């Protein structure tokens, strides 16, 4: 259900630890401990709380319904909530793209990080690889693990926003491809996925902003997120801003495509109505002339072949004249 790794001096050791030893390790200033739980489990989280003293409200957030991305400060630890995002471009979905999100919660103390993903989308090995490759942050307690975690999460969000932004750019090519159903379907699907991603990214920007403002400082004066890590968190914050910008521009592009599509449809409808109206006017000519000659009163040419010929000539001439006029005005 959980994996425990112990670091000393920013390097992983071969120490093996159990849940019952975590309380003692948390008091060791030379040790930094990474713990990842495979899924939110009340019994496991309860044991971790007994050893590390997590706040009851933070535990409730882990075991409860989905939370928005946030960073909460408690007396001696912090609670982080964020999301792993990925885009499946080979999806069988008719729109051809699908955004997947996995909630990730983390308890952070001065030298312990406990990560609890709510699904299989979280790659703990990737986070640990980044942490072990980081040279300078390695001496900053649990901060280097937090940096690696946030960097991995934000990079995934950045990749997702870039993929959705690219798909939004491709939407324009469908406008004039005579595939209106594809434009509608993909536009609405893409708008939905972009909205979901925006709900993840905008609060994430607030999380990184809080870190940079040192609002996560512990009340006892120590800081798990030390000032030496500020440049690294600034880099992650820049990635968040870029992802937000891409997401906003993609949403604007989708809205513009939809507006352009509706405008094109309206113009096409006007053209169709002009053509139908023009043909109706031409068809009305024979109806009017035959109706006139069908009156039950004497008139010139009544009962003679000349009258029939005159009516036929009038029908042809007026119809041809109307056709030529409408054609010149591009109504037909």
pLDDT digits (tens, 9 = 90+) for 45-69: 899 998 998 999 999 989 888 889 9
Residue 86 has pLDDT above 80, yes or no: yes
Q: At what angle do helices 230-293 and 180-212 cross, to 10 degrees?
A: 160
Taking only the tens place, the pLDDT of each residue in 123-180 is 989 998 888 887 665 666 788 888 899 999 999 999 999 989 888 888 877 776 666 6
Are 319 and 198 part of one and the same domain?
A: no
Q: Are residues 256 and 273 in the same domain?
A: no
Domain boundary among 243, 264, 285: 264
What is the rounded CA–CA span in Å between residue 144 and residue 224?
Answer: 9
pLDDT in tens, 273-307: 888 888 888 888 888 777 766 666 666 666 677 77
- Domain end: 264, 287, 317, which one? 264
- H/E element, 303: none
Same-domain check for residues 294 and 233: no
Count up the domains in the chain and report the number.
2
The model's pLDDT over 187-220, given as tens digits with 9 standing for 90+, comes to 888 888 999 999 999 999 999 988 887 644 444 4
Pair 194, 298 in one domain:
no
Give the integer Cα–Cα distance in Å for 7 and 146.
14
Q: Is the pTM of this model over 0.85?
A: no
| Domain shared by 192 and 324, yes or no | no
The angle formed by the CA atoms of residues 189, 191 and 193, to the nearest 5 degrees, is 70
Q: Report helix, strand or coil for 270.
A: helix
- Beta-strand relationship, 11-12 and 98-108: unpaired
Token digits of residue 264: 């094109």
Residues 200 and 318 in one domain: no
> Could you list the residue range(s) of the whole structural domain that residue 294 is in?
269-328
Answer whether 49's CB lies under 8 Å from 38's CB. Answer: no
CATH number of the domain bearing residue 214? 3.30.460.20
Number of H helices, E strands in the chain: 8, 7
């Amino acid at each position: 259900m959980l994996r425990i790794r112990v670091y000393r001096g920013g390097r992983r050791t071969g120490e093996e630890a159990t849940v019952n030893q975590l309380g003692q390790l948390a008091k060791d200033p030379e040790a930094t401990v990474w713990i990842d739980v495979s899924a939110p489990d009340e019994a496991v989280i309860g044991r971790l709380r007994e050893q590390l003293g997590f706040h009851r409200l933070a535990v409730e957030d882990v075991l409860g319904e989905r939370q928005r991305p946030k960073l909460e400060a408690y007396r001696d630890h912090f609670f982080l909530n964020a999301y792993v995002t990925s885009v499946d471009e080979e999806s069988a979905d008719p729109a051809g793209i699908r955004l997947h999100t996995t909630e990730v919660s983390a308890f952070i103390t001065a030298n312990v990080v406990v990560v609890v993903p709510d699904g299989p989308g979280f790659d703990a090995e990737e986070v640990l690889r980044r942490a072990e490759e980081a040279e300078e942050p390695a001496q900053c307690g649990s901060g280097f693990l937090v940096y690696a975690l946030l960097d991995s999460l934000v990079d995934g969000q950045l990749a997702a926003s870039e993929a959705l932004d690219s798909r939004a750019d491709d939407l324009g090519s469908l406008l004039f491809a005579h595939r209106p159903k594809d434009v509608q379907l993909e536009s609405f699907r893409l708008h939905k996925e972009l909205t979901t991603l925006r709900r993840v990214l905008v609060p994430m920007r607030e999380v990184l902003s809080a870190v940079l403002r040192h609002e996560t400082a512990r009340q006892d004066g120590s800081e798990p997120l030390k000032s030496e890590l500020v440049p690294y968190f600034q880099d992650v914050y820049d990635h968040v801003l870029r992802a937000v910008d891409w997401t906003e521009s993609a949403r604007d592009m989708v809205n513009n495509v939809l507006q352009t599509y509706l405008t094109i449809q309206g113009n096409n409808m006007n053209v169709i109505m002009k053509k139908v109206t023009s043909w109706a006017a031409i068809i009305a000519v024979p109806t009017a002339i035959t109706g006139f000659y069908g009156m039950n009163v004497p008139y010139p040419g009544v009962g003679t072949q000349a009258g029939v010929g005159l009516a036929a000539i009038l029908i042809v001439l007026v119809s041809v004249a109307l056709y030529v006029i409408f054609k010149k005005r591009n109504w037909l």
